[in-house]
Amino acid sequence: MIGDNQLHKLTDLFAGMIGHRPTACVVTFGCQMNARDSEKLRGVLDDAGFKLTDNEKADFVIYNTCTVRENANTRVYGRLGQLKNYKKKNPHMILAVCGCMIQEPGAAQIIRKKLPFVDLVFGTFNLYEFPALMKEVLGKKLAGQEEPVIDVWEKESSGEADSLPSKRTYAFKAGVNIMYGCNNFCSYCIVPYVRGRERSRNKQDILNEINRLTQDGVREVMLLGQNVNSYGKTLDEKVSFAELLESIAVECDLNRIRFMTSHPKDLSDELIDVMSRYDSICNHLHLPVQSGSNKILQRMNRHYTREAYFELVEKLRGAIPDISLTTDIMVGFPGESREDIEDTIDLIRQVGFDNAFTFIYSKRTGTPAASMPDQIDPQTASGWFDQVLEAVHETAAARCARFTGTDQAVLVEDRNRHRGGWLTGRTQHNLLVHFEGPADLIGTCVPVEITESKGFYLIGRRV
Ligand code: 5AD
Ligand code: SF4
């Protein structure tokens, strides 16, 4: 794919038409999967000869969308609407929309009808066709044709975007897809519909990709999948996630290995054992619980109980006493009552999460929960949300404070945006640390004494 002459030529012709080297901006909505896909989109654009920028007033703009909650869609439509006037004045501009929102039935037609100035629409299943789609849309622009390119597939195919070039956001850390799609069908979730059935990547391909990354200076990888604990189930040669993780810890030269997301129903003893044995595997686990009520967990089709979750936490803390646990929590699920919310708050306090992403349930058309009776009114859900958030803040602050006075290895990510001469990095527990230091430390791991806890982040001093 790299060095696609035809694509280069078309980019050159486009540059000639607009009178300068074209710029491109990829705007990402949503999760780490989308962030990783965007790196591939940037890789293809960069490879084709576009100059990458963060400015949305670019010659080629791509919105990589999310649809997990309704407000994600609203934001995309709002931003697209804002670009309309800019595009009117700059008709050469190419505007593309891709990602999860596009895989919803009817989304492409809505865009075509209501936002006719969008030039290219494609989904998650044909992301790997992006170079070919670019050629088509550039060809049309050069020929002065207005007709948009719309290519949305209903199902996943055997092709994936693994071999596309990629332009990483960070030089020293990278996301690596280990699997795509999800088979769990949690009753509220649209992901299985817009990302398709679960399919795992071959183990050796993953190891090769990580080894290429480490040769390129990467020190930390995040293994990505909707449910990494069921990795390997679709492969001819069965490999468990624990085996994959151990192979990476043994064979790849990394300081830090992270992974997400883990479904509690599939978290194995074998995995806990591997996590406890390798220093390079971070002492942090993101383990979405969603609710503390057994009634709601059952309606969500989560296949575990609060008691089973407590048992898991006990096992994890038994094997890795210092582990940080983070989670996702949803409030306002159909049929939820005050007692269910109290169960959730009680679970948050009992577990003592290091942090949690909290969401108000959002009805997604086509999912089983959308047609369940007793949908919760937004005001009630919002009141519950505030109470759940308060409990999260309390436990997070208490957990964060345990680091005060300790020395932590911090992987330095960037200059601190608010304080000149300061840097920002992360501990292996995934907490942000701000401290004073020179910019040449970016990308390295340095020891930092934690002097103050700010509830969700830390202040430190280099030792
Ligand atoms: N409404 C609200 N939150 C949702 N999530 C998934 N689907 C929905 C929905 N319909 C949340 C879950 C999941 C996280 C990625 O997003 O908590 O773990
Ligand atoms: Fe959605 Fe459940 Fe799959 Fe996560 S495990 S992506 S919440 S269906």
- Say which ligand is closest to the CA of 229: 2
* C-alpha 168 – ligand 1 centre gap (Å): 26
Query: For ligand 1, what atom is nearest to the CA of residue 31?
Result: 15
Q: Which residue has the tokens 């309606």?
A: 299
Q: Which residue has the tokens 């919002």?
A: 382
**DSSP class of residue 182?**
-
* C-alpha 266 – ligand 2 centre gap (Å): 12
* C-alpha 290 – ligand 1 centre gap (Å): 8
**DSSP class of residue 290?**
B
Does residue 8 have a pLDDT over 60?
A: yes
Q: Which residue has the tokens 């703009």?
A: 61
* β pairing state of 51-52 and 60-65: unpaired
Residue from 68, 291, 327 whose mutation best tests the ligand 1 pocket (most atoms within 8 A of CB): 68
Instruction: Check pocket membership of 376 for ligand 1, CB cut-off 6 A.
Output: no
pLDDT bracket for residue 3 (50, 70, 90): low
Please provide the size of the chain in residues.
Answer: 463
Residue from 188, 227, 358, 372 whose mutation best tests the ligand 1 pocket (most atoms within 8 A of CB): 188
Task: Please give the Cα distance from 448 to 415 (Å, whole number).
Answer: 16
Segment 116-144, tens digit of pLDDT: 999 999 999 999 999 999 999 999 999 99
Residue from 31, 66, 69, 357 whose mutation best tests the ligand 1 pocket (most atoms within 8 A of CB): 69
Task: Please give the Cα distance from 97 to 63 (Å, whole number).
Answer: 5
Q: What share of the chain is helix, strand, coil (3-state, %, to 5)?
A: 40, 20, 40
> What is the reported pLDDT for 63?
97
Residue ranges of domains in the chain, CATH in brackets: 4-151 (3.40.50.12160), 168-282 (3.30.750.210), 285-402 (3.30.750.200), 407-462 (2.40.50.140)
Segment 365-399, tens digit of pLDDT: 999 999 999 999 999 999 999 999 999 999 999 99
Instruction: Check pocket membership of 330 for ligand 1, CB cut-off 6 A.
Output: yes
Residue nearest to atom 12 of ligand 1 (CA): 328
Coil/strand/helix, residue 167: coil
DSSP 213-224: HHHTT--EEEEE
Sequence-distant (≥ 6) Cβ neighbours of residue 383 within 8 angstroms = none
Segment 156-212, tens digit of pLDDT: 877 777 888 899 999 999 999 999 999 999 999 999 999 999 999 999 999 999 999
Task: Please give the Cα distance from 455 to 395 (Å, whole number).
Answer: 9
Instruction: Check pocket membership of 184 for ligand 1, CB cut-off 6 A.
Output: no
**Closest Cα to residue 129, out of 41, 67, 48?**
41
Instruction: Check pocket membership of 193 for ligand 1, CB cut-off 6 A.
Output: no
Task: Please give the Cα distance from 109 to 107 (Å, whole number).
Answer: 5
> What is the reported pLDDT for 1?
46
- Say which ligand is closest to the CA of 69: 1
Q: What are phi and psi of 304, to 5 degrees?
A: -150, 165
Q: Is 94 exposed, middle or buried (0-12, 13-18, 19+ CB in 10 A)?
A: buried
Sequence-distant (≥ 6) Cβ neighbours of residue 420 within 8 angstroms = none
Instruction: Check pocket membership of 188 for ligand 1, CB cut-off 6 A.
Output: yes
Query: For ligand 2, what atom is nearest to the CA of residue 290?
Result: 7
Q: Report whether 153 contacts 125 (CB < 8 A).
A: yes
- Say which ligand is closest to the CA of 184: 2
Q: Report whether 309 contacts 302 (CB < 8 A).
A: no
Q: Which amino acid is at 243?
A: E
Does residue 443 have a pLDDT over 50?
A: yes
Does residue 445 have a pLDDT over 90?
A: yes
> What is the reported pLDDT for 231?
96
Query: For ligand 1, what atom is nearest to the CA of residue 362?
Result: 1
- Indicate the angle between helix axes 5-18 and 130-142, nearest 10 degrees: 40
Instruction: Check pocket membership of 361 for ligand 1, CB cut-off 6 A.
Output: yes
Coil/strand/helix, residue 99: strand
Average per-residue pLDDT in the chain?
Answer: 95
Q: Report whether 123 contacts 99 (CB < 8 A).
A: yes
The sign of the torsion formed by the CA atoms of 334, 339, 345, 349 equals negative
Reading the block at residue 408, the tokens are 């932590």
* C-alpha 286 – ligand 2 centre gap (Å): 13
Task: Please give the Cα distance from 31 to 42 (Å, whole number).
Answer: 17
* C-alpha 105 – ligand 2 centre gap (Å): 19
Residue nearest to atom 7 of ligand 1 (CA): 189
> What is the reported pLDDT for 146?
87
CA atoms within 13 Å, Cβ hemisphere of 113: 5
pLDDT bracket for residue 227 (50, 70, 90): very high
**DSSP class of residue 128?**
G
* C-alpha 191 – ligand 1 centre gap (Å): 9
| Ligand 2 binding site (Cβ under 6 Å of any ligand atom) | 182, 184-186, 189, 191-192, 226-227, 263
Instruction: Check pocket membership of 333 for ligand 1, CB cut-off 6 A.
Output: no
Q: What are phi and psi of 281, to 5 degrees?
A: -85, 120
Segment 234-273, tens digit of pLDDT: 899 889 999 999 999 999 999 999 999 999 999 999 999 9
Residue nearest to atom 1 of ligand 2 (CA): 189
- Say which ligand is closest to the CA of 367: 1
> What is the reported pLDDT for 156?
81
Please count the helices (runs of H) and the strands (runs of E) in the chain: 13, 19
* C-alpha 68 – ligand 1 centre gap (Å): 6
Does residue 450 have a pLDDT over 80?
A: yes
Give Cα 195 distance to the centre of its chain: 13
- Say which ligand is closest to the CA of 193: 2
* C-alpha 355 – ligand 1 centre gap (Å): 16
